[in-house]
């Protein structure tokens, strides 16, 4: 009770100060209202007895951020068997096929939702999963959305660039991991960002920044911003039978804390099979026309003037 009262008094004081300085109109853009929003959320947690989200277990390794350290790490030699990594991989999800391997955080929606900033949570709840899904109409959807629940990719290792072409290439595209440069000083935001990598022993470390804010974190419609940063640590396990990919997703504007997960992929061939986004043209036309109904109506109105 005392803590709740104290939080309430602080909230009232901040509200009064904010009105006094004329900050209310910029609520989402001011540090005062960000703090007020967090205080309000904590009061709600105390009143309902709800515990704050637990900290996400992050991997225990050194994270390189600065260009000098990354450039130095890029001088590390690749594993002698790196060419054996080449091939097409499919995600393994069934316990039988995983053969005792246990993915970290196999079910991501509640993990991400608990860490969304209030504005991001509200946006997710207001998003129409069909009408607003860019991937559903064969537009890009971002490659890290493809790695939550299923998917596959073709991995092509080269000394200066490792190419990861995703199976649903029309939606998830190609991730080019540059092994001989750091991130540009000014990265133009794109669907798949800018990826650089280096070898940490037999582990490929990939750091990606420069995403646009048009895609979702997962198919459950969680938004992100251009501040998204993805770290992947990729290694072979079980004598090369699997690729283990450990992901850490950060976004200081959309998330309250980072989240992490691992997925396992099995090599199933030397080439990537052909994938057709939609081979029933009539279904595609009907879907497209319904999605574009509003734009078509406006176009007809302008044309008939």
Q: Could you write out the three-class secondary structure of 187-210? A: CCCECCCEEEEEEECCEEEEEEEC
Q: Mean pLDDT throughout 246-271?
A: 94
Q: Mean pLDDT throughout 221-233?
A: 96
Place of tokens 């309000």: 40
- How much is the pLDDT for 22? 34
- How much is the pLDDT for 153? 94
Q: 3-class DSSP state for residue 263?
A: strand
Environment class of 110 (CB within 10 Å of its CB; exposed 0-12, middle 13-18, buried 19+) = exposed
- How much is the pLDDT for 213? 96
Question: What are the DSSP calls for 53-73, one per residue?
Answer: PPPPPPPSSPPP-SHHHHHHH
* Confidence at 72, pLDDT banded by 50, 70, 90: very high
Q: Which of 6-15, 18-27, 51-60, 153-162 has the highest mean pLDDT?
A: 153-162
- How much is the pLDDT for 111? 95
Which of 8-17, 135-144, 182-191, 241-250 comes out lowest in average pLDDT? 8-17
- How much is the pLDDT for 232? 96
Euclidean distance between CA atoms 72 and 234, whole angstroms? 19
Which tens digit of pLDDT belongs to each residue from 10-32?
444 434 443 333 333 333 323 33
Structural contact between residues 134 and 140, judged by C-beta atoms closer than 8 angstroms? yes
């Amino acid at each position: 009770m005392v803590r709740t009262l104290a939080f309430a008094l602080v909230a009232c004081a901040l509200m009064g100060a904010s009105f006094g300085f004329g900050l209310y109109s910029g609520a989402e853009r001011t540090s005062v209202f960000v703090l007020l929003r967090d205080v309000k959320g904590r009061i709600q947690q105390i009143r309902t007895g709800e515990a704050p989200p637990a900290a996400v277990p992050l991997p225990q390794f050194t994270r390189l951020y600065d260009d000098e350290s990354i450039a130095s790490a890029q001088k590390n030699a690749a594993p002698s068997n790196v060419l054996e990594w080449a091939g097409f991989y499919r995600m393994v999800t069934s316990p039988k096929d995983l053969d005792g391997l246990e993915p970290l955080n196999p079910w991501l929606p509640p993990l991400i939702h608990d860490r969304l900033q209030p504005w991001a949570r509200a946006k997710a709840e207001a998003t129409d999963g069909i009408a607003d899904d860019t991937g559903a109409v064969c537009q890009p959807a971002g490659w890290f959305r493809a790695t939550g629940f299923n998917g596959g990719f073709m991995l092509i290792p080269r000394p200066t660039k490792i190419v990861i072409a995703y199976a649903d290439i029309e939606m998830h595209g190609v991730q080019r991991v540059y092994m001989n440069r750091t991130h540009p000083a000014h990265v133009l935001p794109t669907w798949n960002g800018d990826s650089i990598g280096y070898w940490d022993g037999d582990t490929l470390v990939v750091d990606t920044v420069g995403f646009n804010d048009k895609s979702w974190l997962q198919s459950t419609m969680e938004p992100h911003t251009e501040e998204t940063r993805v770290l992947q640590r990729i290694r072979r396990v079980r004598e090369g039978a699997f690729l283990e990919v450990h992901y850490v997703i950060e976004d200081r504007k959309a998330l309250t804390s980072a989240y992490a997960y691992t997925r396992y992929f099995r090599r199933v061939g030397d080439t990537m099979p052909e994938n057709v986004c939609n081979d029933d043209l009539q279904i595609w036309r009907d879907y497209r026309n319904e999605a574009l109904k509003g734009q078509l109506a406006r176009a007809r109105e302008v044309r008939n003037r």
